[in-house]
Amino acid sequence: MTDLSLGTFEDGDSADNDLDPDAASIARCATTCRAPDRDDSSWASPDEDWGLTTQRPASSINTSAGRATKQQTRWVVDGDVGDYVEQYATGDLLQIPNTYGDFSSVDTRVTFVDGLADSYGYGIDTQALEKAFRVLTGGGRYTASQYTAIPCGKQPWILTGPEGTLLCSCMPVERPENPYTKDLRTPETTLQIEEQNQTVRTGAAEFAHLLSDALGVDIEGVEYATVRGQTQHSFIGEEDKFSIKASDLAQLHGLTSDPSIIQAGIGHGVQPPSGGDPISVEWDGPEHPVGYLDEGDVIAGYEFTWEQPEESLEDVAVVREYRITRNYSRWTVDYYTHRLASVVP
Kind and range of the H or E run holding 207: helix 198-215
Cα pseudo-dihedral 145, 148, 149, 152, rounded to 10: 140
177-231 pLDDT, tens per residue? 888 899 999 999 999 999 999 999 999 999 999 999 999 999 999 999 999 889 9
- The number of beta carbons lying within 10 Å of the beta carbon of residue 217 is 20
The percentage of the chain sitting over the pLDDT mark of 70, rounded to a whole number, equals: 92
pLDDT value for 211? 95
272 with 279: CB under 8 angstroms? Answer: yes
**Could you tell me the pTM of the whole model?**
0.78
6 with 92: CB under 8 angstroms? Answer: yes
Beta-carbon contacts of residue 69 (< 8 Å; ≥ 6 apart): 60
152 with 88: CB under 8 angstroms? Answer: yes
Alpha carbon distance 334, 248 (integer Å): 8
- The number of beta carbons lying within 10 Å of the beta carbon of residue 106 is 23
303-331 pLDDT, tens per residue? 999 988 777 777 888 999 999 999 888 99
| 248 half-sphere exposure, CB direction, 13 A CA radius | 23
